[in-house]
A and B are shown apart, each in its own frame.
Chain A
Amino acid sequence: EAGVTQFPSHSVIEKGQTVTLRCDPISGHDNLYWYRRVMGKEIKFLLHFVKESKQDESGMPNNRFLAERTGGTYSTLKVQPAELEDSGVYFCASSQLGQGRTDTQYFGPGTRLTVL
Chain B
Amino acid sequence: AQTVTQSQPEMSVQEAETVTLSCTYDTSESDYYLFWYKQPPSRQMILVIRQEAYKQQNATENRFSVNFQKAAKSFSLKISDSQLGDAAMYFCASTGGATNKLIFGTGTLLAVQP
A residues with CB within 8 A of B: 3, 31, 33, 35, 40-45, 48, 55-56, 59, 91, 93, 95, 98, 102, 104-110
Contact = CB atoms under 8 A, between A and B. Distances in A.
Nearest to A6: B44
Query: Which of B97, B104, B105 counts the most chain A CB atoms within 10 A?
Result: B104
B106 A48 contact: no
Nearest to A9: B42
A54 to B, nearest CB: 10
Contacts of A3: 44
Nearest to A49: B99
Contact of A107 (B33, B45, B50, B101): B45
17 contacts: A33-B102, A35-B104, A41-B106, A42-B104, A42-B106, A45-B96, A93-B102, A95-B100, A98-B100, A104-B47, A104-B50, A105-B47, A105-B100, A107-B45, A109-B43, A110-B44, A110-B45
Chief secondary structure at chain B's binding surface: strand
Interface string B41-71: 0011111001000000000000000000000
Given A42-B4, A42-B105, A107-B37, A102 B47 contact: no
B104 A102 contact: no
Nearest to A109: B44
Contacts of A44: 104
B69 to A, nearest CB: 20
